[in-house]
Structure 1
Amino acid sequence: MASLHNVLLLGGSGKIAQLLTPLLLQRSWNVTSIIRDPAQVANLQKLGEGQSGKLNVLVRSLEDVTSDAQAKSIIDEVKPDYVVWSAGAGGKGAPERTFKIDRDAASHFIRASVATPTVTKFVLVSFLCSRLKKPSWWTEEVWQYSQDTVKKNLLKYYEAKIAADQVLYEESKKRPDFAGIDLRPGTLTLEPAGNVSLGKLPVSRGNSSRAGVANLIALLLDTPGVKSSWLDTIDGDEDPEAAVKRVIEEGVDAAEGEPFY
């Protein structure tokens, strides 16, 4: 059995987070799930029933976290060694709300986690098209599709996510014992978890099962030796455990080509 870990799960009422929670509890890990709506507490607590790990649900508004110090106070209260950011405004509400949560609150939690020596892994859920530059393994057509998609449908979300992605990458460099993992799925679906493509992918579109994304997060937290990196993912042909092992052994980092790489 894996050694006991304490995981802070930010955005615990989201679909990926609800699929991830039992996977972590099954490992006899403790999970503190942060949610905004007190009406969801009872339903979320059911995810912990019959599990070997302990689930704690805390009601906090991430929108109200406006400083590194506020994020640090939540981290100090929970005392996690792993942090997962699966929160987001989901493009709902004014653009300011997307920036407040997806960019600002995420960045505060990243910096607060790096500043906490006992936190050793941070997984940020981003998305496949969150890039500033065309990577060498993309064709012009693939890059243009990603740019068109972002500008037509996701501009504010993209601006918020790429900013948080950059903060994670730069902050993670400050600690050699800290892994800042940016997991970047395609279009999220409700399909069951299956095989995956993971790493530097030659595409800027494709489906990603939410259950598969949750499984990858659990594996990345559970597998030793993972380093700070961007890992793009869609549904594919490789066994998830083998894929995680491969990207760790090969030191794959899809942030290559970005200005801050």
Structure 2
Amino acid sequence: MSHKILLIGGHGKVSQLLTPLLLAKSWSVTSMIRSPDQKATIEKLGQGQPGKLDVLVSSIEDVKNEGDAKSILEQVNPDWVVWSAGAGGRGGAPRTLAIDRDAAIAFTKASIHTPSIKKFLTVSYLASRRERPSWWTDEDWAAFEKVNNETLPTYYKAKIAADEVLTVLAKERIDEEAKKGVAEADKFCGISLRPGTLTDEKPGGVKMGKIGSRGNSSRATVAEAIVAVLNTDGARGWFDFVDGDDNAEDAVKKCVKDGIDAAEGEDIEGMKERAGKL
């Protein structure tokens, strides 16, 4: 089945690896980039691919609220949305919060509140969580605290806020769909894909599910994991992974079959309270 995907942050390293993989599935992709100078680079990614590629020049920094995001969604009319954007540490804390938190949440809300959009996937990171999960060691937790409290405190605040809004609103939509008798296969899929430390290594296998807080993930493997999750019916929730030996699609299917969601252990009621303020 053909799908139309809005890829937000299309000029990023992961997105440039991802775009040809999506097009190879004969899916249509609208790659959203911030500058006309980036357009030629993106257009090359669609050469010789069966899927259709469009390029939308529209800066994420102009998205201030859900209404701004909704206008872009109405222009593109996707059925799936992938958030793979970020400030990348440029512009200091205000820019990180404006993009990684505020704009991400705006697109999350607008997508979930659009009935024709069936999947929203955000690329987060392994340590984006508030509670220590039962499967983490003392060393895992110490590494988590160092990264989130010392190395990337603003990024952490932004990403966990966006992850929590996605988790809360996705559940609300699924509950509403259940009341309306929507078939399980047709229910909304909200996905937080959570790689380890990004590298430029070649693509490979993954280790996915209830894993520790440490490990690397090659950007090429992240791109393959995005395709695997999107291509798996019923894949929703938090997918933690690092480089490993398992085929990405097989690993995703196993997580879905076994009901593994790395959000387990998080304070859902606390999430609801915090998300309601954003």
Give TM class, smaller chain. over 0.9
- The answer to whether the aligner puts 1:219 opposite 2:228 as a matched pair is yes
State the alpha-carbon separation in 1 of the partners of residues 124 and 219 from structure 2.
13
Q: Cα offset for 1:248?
A: 1.1
User: Hey, what does 1:164 align to over in structure 2?
Assistant: 162
Q: Cα offset for 1:145?
A: 1.4
- The answer to whether the aligner puts 1:21 opposite 2:19 as a matched pair is yes
Percentage of pairs with the same residue = 55
Cα deviation per residue 1:82-127 (whole Å; 9 max; x = unaligned)?
1000000012112010000000000000000011111111110011
- The answer to whether the aligner puts 1:209 opposite 2:207 as a matched pair is no
Tell me the SS of whatever aligns to 1:230.
strand
Q: Aligned to 2:194, which of 174, 184, 191?
A: 184
Asked whether the equivalents of residues 229 and 249 of structure 2 are also in contact (C-alpha less than 8 Å), the reply is no
State the alpha-carbon separation in 1 of the partners of residues 133 and 51 from structure 2.
40
User: Hey, what does 1:197 align to over in structure 2?
Assistant: 207
State the alpha-carbon separation in 2 of the partners of residues 105 and 152 from structure 1.
24
State the alpha-carbon separation in 1 of the partners of residues 143 and 45 from structure 2.
39
User: Hey, what does 2:245 align to over in structure 1?
Assistant: 237
Tell me the SS of whatever aligns to 1:200.
coil
User: Hey, what does 1:128 align to over in structure 2?
Assistant: 126
State the alpha-carbon separation in 2 of the partners of residues 134 and 116 from structure 1.
33
Q: Cα offset for 1:141?
A: 2.3
Give 1:51-200 correspondences, 5 Å limit.
51-176=49-174, 177-200=187-210
With structure 2 as the length reference, what TM-score do the two structures score? 0.91
State the alpha-carbon separation in 2 of the partners of residues 22 and 128 from structure 1.
25
Cα deviation per residue 1:188-217 (whole Å; 9 max; x = unaligned)?
01111111011110x211110101010010
State the alpha-carbon separation in 1 of the partners of residues 73 and 172 from structure 2.
19
State the alpha-carbon separation in 2 of the partners of residues 241 and 86 from structure 1.
19
Q: Cα offset for 1:240?
A: 1.2
State the alpha-carbon separation in 1 of the partners of residues 261 and 221 from structure 2.
20
Unaligned runs of 5+ in 1: none
State the alpha-carbon separation in 2 of the partners of residues 189 and 102 from structure 1.
20
Coordinate RMSD, CA, aligned = 1.0
User: Hey, what does 2:182 align to over in structure 1?
Assistant: none
With structure 1 as the length reference, what TM-score do the two structures score? 0.96
Tell me the SS of whatever aligns to 1:8.
strand
State the alpha-carbon separation in 2 of the partners of residues 251 and 55 from structure 1.
34
- The answer to whether the aligner puts 1:250 opposite 2:248 as a matched pair is no
Unaligned runs of 5+ in 2: 175-186, 270-278
Asked whether the equivalents of residues 202 and 220 of structure 2 are also in contact (C-alpha less than 8 Å), the reply is yes
Task: Give the structure with the higher percent helix.
Answer: 2
Q: Where does structure 1 differ by over 4 angstroms across 4 or more consecutive aligned residues?
A: none
Aligned pairs, how many? 257
Question: What amino acid is aligned across from residue 243 of structure 2 in structure 1?
Answer: D
User: Hey, what does 1:45 align to over in structure 2?
Assistant: 43
Cα deviation per residue 1:33-69 (whole Å; 9 max; x = unaligned)?
0001110101110001111011101111111101101
State the alpha-carbon separation in 1 of the partners of residues 35 and 195 from structure 2.
26
Tell me the SS of whatever aligns to 2:56.
strand
State the alpha-carbon separation in 1 of the partners of residues 208 and 42 from structure 2.
29
